[in-house]
Structure formats: structure tokens, C-alpha cells
């Protein structure tokens, strides 16, 4: 039985399949290509934001096959029909995690963003809570157009930890 939370996203050439049940929050997809795989956005996958080649490269790095891809010409009848599904989307950010309270894991990516996973909240200067999530990445280069979150611009501006 197909998991009703599964989704697929397509461009002219390929379709990416998202299977939330297989996601272990490795965060590889959005650390490498947040323009396409952005858990803070709905829908969270934007197939128009990078080349097909780049999407294939990053999709292939998913350690659990939570995201996999196929050429559109190879899709089965069922897969072609499934692309019209409209029910509520689950993404890596809204998936439930281990109920046990653990320290939030914060990773400073080389020449990249601050990636946060686990139990945490985000507030603004005045103490107002921003949207709740279990995973996010904060801009560290100063160049994001989606402050305070990373939008991948560190690569365009050549952000370097050593400068």
C-alpha cells in the first residue's frame, strides 16, 4: 500500500519522489541545494530552481532513498496519475521525530549556513515566536534574501569562513 504522504515533483525531464517514512533528517538535500529542497517552503521542492543535472546529483546523495528520481519517459501509469495528488504535504520539517527531549543539534557548515535539528524555537528581537519547526538553516553569509534563513546565496557571493 502506497503511503498517502508520499509526493512527487516534476520538471520537463525528471520526477523526484518524496517518501517521508524513509527520511532520517540527514539534511543532505537542503544543505546542498536549498534552492530546490527547502523545508521552510510549501511545496518544499521547487523543480525549477536548479538544472536537472544538479537535482539528480543531490537526489542521489540522499542516504535513505527518501528522495529518488526517474526520467519522465520511464514513469509508470500509476506514477503519472499520482502527480495530480492534492492532499496536505508533509516535508522534512513537519515530520515528527523522537519524542525524547534531546539538545538541539547545531552544525556550522563549511562556508555555509547554520543547520539546526531537534527541539528548539526561534524568536525575534522582541521575543515573538517565529514559525515552529524541527529543522532549519540560518544564513551566516549576510547575503540571504530570506533572512534570517539561508536561501543558498552564500554560494553565489563566494562566502568563505576564512575571510
- Grid cell for residue 71: 526520467
CB 39 within 8 A of CB 133: yes
Binding piece for another protein, criterion CB under 8 A, among 9-17, 40-48, 77-85, 142-150: 142-150
Question: Is position 105 an interface residue for another protein (rule: CB under 8 A)?
Answer: yes
Cβ 139 to another protein, closest distance in Å?
A: 6
Question: Is position 25 an interface residue for another protein (rule: CB under 8 A)?
Answer: no
> Which CB sits closer to another protein, 49 or 114?
114
Long-range contacts made by residues 134-138, C-beta under 8 angstroms, separation at least 24? 134/25, 134/93, 134/94, 134/95, 134/96, 134/97, 135/25, 135/27, 135/39, 135/92, 135/93, 136/39, 136/40, 136/93, 137/27, 137/30, 137/31, 137/34, 137/109, 137/113, 138/113, 138/114
The footprint of another protein on residues 108-127 (CB under 8 A) is: 108-110, 114, 116, 118-125, 127
**Interacting residue with another protein among 140, 152, 155, 156 (CB under 8 A):** 140
**Interacting residue with another protein among 141, 151, 152, 155 (CB under 8 A):** 141
The footprint of another protein on residues 144-163 (CB under 8 A) is: 144, 147-148, 159, 161
Amino acid at each position: 500500500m502506497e503511503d498517502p504522504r508520499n509526493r512527487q515533483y516534476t520538471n520537463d525531464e525528471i520526477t523526484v519522489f518524496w517518501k517521508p517514512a524513509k527520511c532520517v533528517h540527514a539534511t543532505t538535500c537542503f544543505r546542498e541545494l536549498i534552492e530546490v529542497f527547502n523545508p521552510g517552503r510549501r511545496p518544499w521542492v521547487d523543480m525549477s530552481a536548479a538544472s536537472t543535472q544538479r537535482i539528480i546529483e543531490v537526489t542521489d546523495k540522499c542516504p535513505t532513498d527518501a528522495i529518488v528520481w526517474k526520467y519522465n519517459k520511464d514513469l509508470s501509469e500509476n506514477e503519472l496519475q499520482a502527480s495530480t495528488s492534492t492532499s496536505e504535504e508533509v516535508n522534512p520539517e513537519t515530520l515528527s521525530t523522537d519524542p525524547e527531549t534531546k539538545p538541539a543539534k547545531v552544525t556550522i557548515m563549511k562556508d555555509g549556513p547554520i543547520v539546526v535539528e531537534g527541539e528548539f524555537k526561534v524568536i525575534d528581537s522582541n521575543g515573538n515566536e517565529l514559525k515552529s519547526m524541527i529543522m532549519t538553516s540560518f544564513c551566516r553569509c549576510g547575503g540571504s534574501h530570506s533572512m534570517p534563513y539561508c536561501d543558498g546565496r552564500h554560494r553565489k557571493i563566494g562566502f568563505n569562513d576564512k575571510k
